[in-house]
């Protein structure tokens, strides 16, 4: 497991968030599809540009193509205006630069009415 995944999990847990973690973008799309197919939904989706198999832009596009309206927040170290715009164009609702902190998680949860 990558160190950044361990850190992100610890930050989310400290903020009181129960996370369902996907190892790559394709798996994330599959999990969302399964959840929707079962009549459920996630409260929030966090994605990153640099994921194996399928990057965050494509995963976001595919999730939106399913009609999913769950808030999607991109969390990436690539935070130039063009990077933020690429996520917005793919369907992300917000962007937060790395590193992910407890304060940033709190802000995201509050912004989307989940805190």
Determine the pLDDT at residue 88. 96
d(CA 6, CA 80): 25
Nearest partner of 113 among 93, 97, 88, 98, judged by Cα: 93
Q: Please give the model's pTM, rounded to 2 decimal places.
A: 0.88
Superfamily of domain 3-111: Response regulator (3.40.50.2300)
Choose among 82, 74, 76: nearest CA to 108.
Answer: 74
Express each pLDDT in 8-27 by its tens digit.
Answer: 677 777 777 777 888 899 99
Domain ranges of the chain: 3-111
């Amino acid at each position: 497991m990558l160190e950044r995944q361990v850190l992100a999990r610890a930050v989310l847990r400290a903020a009181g968030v129960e996370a369902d973690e996907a190892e790559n973008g394709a798996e994330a799309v599959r999990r969302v599809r399964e959840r929707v197919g079962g009549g459920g939904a996630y409260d929030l989706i966090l994605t990153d540009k640099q994921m194996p198999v399928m990057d965050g832009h494509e995963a976001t596009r595919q999730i939106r193509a399913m009609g999913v309206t769950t808030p999607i927040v991109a969390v990436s170290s690539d935070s130039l205006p063009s990077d933020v715009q690429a996520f917005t164009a793919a369907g992300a609702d917000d962007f937060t630069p790395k590193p992910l902190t407890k304060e940033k998680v709190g802000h995201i949860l509050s912004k989307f009415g989940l805190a």
